[in-house]
Amino acid sequence: MNVKHKILASLLVCLLPVACLAKDLQIGVSMALFDDNFLTIVRTSMQKEMQKEQVKGQIEDAKGDVAQQLQQVQNFIGQGVDAIIVNPVDTNAVKPIMDQASKAGVPLIFVNRRPAAELTGKMAYVGSDSELAGRLQMEALAKNLNYKGNVAILLGDLANESTRERTKGVKAVIANYPGLKITQQQTAKFTRNDAVDVVSNWLTAGDDIQAIAANNDEMAIGALQALGKNASHILVAGVDGTPDALQMIKNGKMVATVFQDAKGQGEGAVQTAVKLAKGENAQKLVDIPFQLITKENMAKFTTMNQK
């Protein structure tokens, strides 16, 4: 082989890995459920980021079913996707998903809901510190209560990490002030309708409540609907910073919410998936910070969590 041929052969060898990577990356996404305002914003953000990154994406609705979510992950692996993003139905039931992805060598990224298991190998979590959200929310309520009063907590889905951590944050703040006391806590499963029912029952029972700390905005809005004319006597705060919640703050009905950057979480999940799919280094924990929203600073958040 002459020198010219040797150089040409060397160039072809160098180009082979590039050719292999030239195919479009494919990402499979399993969302806990589509029928959730905040998660809809996360999902839309992921779709836009995939277009920007020029990767193909397939997004499935697990409809709140752990078994269905596992099946979706197995299907993604069978289709040969380059990475999988999961918004877990149950943060305590993620081990089978992790085992399947590890066995197949497919990068696995959890978004928004932090799994209750150690991340190993090509795994990452993109989300926010849920306990901080609870603390920020309750500090705002405590201040408006002048640090005295009975507090009720609307819990989210009991199988969810964010429910446990946000509630933990709320309770940590209440423990700091002797004048504050928890008189009720009940799950409304993160939904507006369930929150209407729970708070209506509290009112019918004649519970003495001065404030309601809801684990998310949907439940906070449900609480306000149930309160009706009593809304001015009971302070309500949520978490997420959804457009509906911002409108409630603007109208003076809700004291505060805590901005959870849905757009940032969606973008971060796709960016992390692309890095891991390409064999690049990525952070194991990508923290998207929470920020308190009140009537005073809400203007800067009005366009952030739009669908």
State whether 112 and 31 are in the same domain.
Answer: yes
What average pLDDT does this structure show over 138-162? 96
On whether residue 278 sits in a domain, the answer given is: yes
Percent pLDDT > 70 in the chain is 91
Q: Where are the alpha helices (DSSP H) in the chain?
A: 3-21, 37-53, 66-79, 95-104, 130-144, 161-176, 192-204, 217-227, 243-250, 262-277
On whether residue 230 sits in a domain, the answer given is: yes
Residue 84 maps to which CATH number? 3.40.50.2300
What average pLDDT does this structure show over 221-229? 95
- The tokens describing 140, both together, are 């705002």
State whether 9 and 42 are in the same domain.
Answer: yes
Total number of domains in the chain: 2
If phi over 0 gives left and psi between -120 and 50 gives alpha, with beta otherwise, what is residue 12?
alpha
What average pLDDT does this structure show over 78-90? 97
pLDDT at 193: 97
On whether residue 300 sits in a domain, the answer given is: no
State whether 139 and 62 are in the same domain.
Answer: no
On whether residue 302 sits in a domain, the answer given is: no
- For the whole model, what pTM was predicted? 0.78
- 232 vs 306: which has the higher pLDDT: 232
What domain range includes position 191?
Answer: 130-259
State whether 141 and 97 are in the same domain.
Answer: no
State whether 246 and 148 are in the same domain.
Answer: yes
On whether residue 211 sits in a domain, the answer given is: yes
Which is it for strands 235-237 and 149-155: parallel, antiparallel or unpaired? unpaired
Q: Is the pLDDT of residue 170 over 50?
A: yes
Band (17; pLDDT cuts 50, 70, 90):
very low
On whether residue 303 sits in a domain, the answer given is: no
State whether 13 and 116 are in the same domain.
Answer: yes
pLDDT digits (tens, 9 = 90+) for 174-208: 999 999 999 999 999 999 999 999 999 999 999 99
On whether residue 305 sits in a domain, the answer given is: no
DSSP per-residue codes, 258-280:
EE--HHHHHHHHHHHHHHHHTT-
Residue with tokens 């504050």: 180
- 37 vs 163: which has the higher pLDDT: 163
State whether 138 and 51 are in the same domain.
Answer: no
State whether 139 and 242 are in the same domain.
Answer: yes
